[in-house]
Amino acid sequence: MKTYLILFALILMGTTGYSQQDSQYTQYMYNTITINPAYAGSRGAMSIFGMYRRQWVGLDGAPTTATASINTPINDSKVGLGLSFINDQIGPATENNISVDVSYSIQASEDYTVSFGIKGTANLFSLDINKLNIQHQGDPQFQNLNMDFSPNVGAGIYVHSDNTYFGLSVPNFLETKHYKDNSVSVTKERLHYYFIAGHVFDFSSELKFKPALLVKAVEGAPLQVDVSGNFLISDKLTLGVAYRWDAAVSALAGFQISDSWFIGYAYDAETTRLANYNSGSHEIFLRFEFFNNYNRVLTPRFF
């Protein structure tokens, strides 16, 4: 096909990027480290996390995301450290992010801890032109599109007690342009602002309920609001639902296999016209936590 296909692909990347340049997760509440560096070490144990998300199954070029992270407090100090890797693929574009997080916590009151965090990220962006049907293979406008490297920095604040949390973060402050030396293939990373909040209600010793909220704002896209409600039954089974405003409804489930192992799954059903072209989105994760004598918990924390 002609250059129209190429332009369409680049436009798609751009418009998708405005709304979803940062990776999108339904179960963000278990993967907070990727959007807020102040979360590092807040669980009081070394936490290792892996997730895979396949979005809009059946739609060619739909996003797929794989992420892995580790974060831990540094012994009895007020410092937390985190390391995360994210691989995002959308159509012909592949983006890899490697981030290091450092947090510092202050006991603000008897109940609340305030943590401040900074994030340093190495971004690797590449465009596979072999996935595009270019009419003129020698077109100089589509040359020199090798992997593009750019650094970034972000920050966040996270406040929590035993049953309440909220946080505000900007994972990337720099609005980096990829391939800025190429007149056609330019993509620009936009600032993303995140606000998260949640509270755990103890209905009984066997039943807890946690409503949660995520608000994401990015230039050039509508405000994204995710609301969810999860029940924790007998400190083992988690069941819940979520709604992404004007986009999707989701079912969530998780199971605490042991004190250390937790597994979860989510299914998203589109509420937009995209529902006519895909069979939904799937997300699965696994978390493992190391406990020792000073940070062993009697019951799993719900966030």
- Which CATH number is 83's domain given? 2.40.160.40
For residue 153, how many other CB atoms are within 10 A of its CB? 15
Lowest mean pLDDT across 137-146, 238-247, 252-261: 137-146
State how far the Cα of 17 lies from the Cα of 20, in Å rounded to an integer.
5
Q: What are phi and psi of 29, to 5 degrees?
A: -65, -20
Residue located via tokens 């994760």 = 285
In a domain, 18, yes or no: no
Give dist(CA 104, CA 114) in Å, integer.
8
135 domain-assigned: yes
Q: Which tens digit of pLDDT belongs to each residue from 69-109?
A: 999 999 888 999 999 999 999 988 899 999 999 999 999 99
Please state the pTM of the whole predicted model: 0.85
Q: Which domain holds residue 281?
A: 37-174+186-290
Residues 6+ apart with CB under 8 A from 192: 21, 22, 35, 170, 171, 172, 216, 217, 218
Say if residue 188's pLDDT is above 70.
no
The yes-or-no verdict on residue 180 having pLDDT over 50 is yes
Tell me, yes or no, whether 8 lies in a domain.
Answer: no
In-domain check, residue 15: no
Residue 10 is classified by DSSP as H
Q: Is residue 56 assigned to a domain?
A: yes
Determine which of 120-129, 148-157, 211-220 has the lowest per-residue pLDDT on average: 120-129
Per-residue DSSP letters for 166-224? EEEEES----PEETTTSSS--EEPPPEEEEEEEE-EEEETTEEEEEEEEEEEETTSPPE
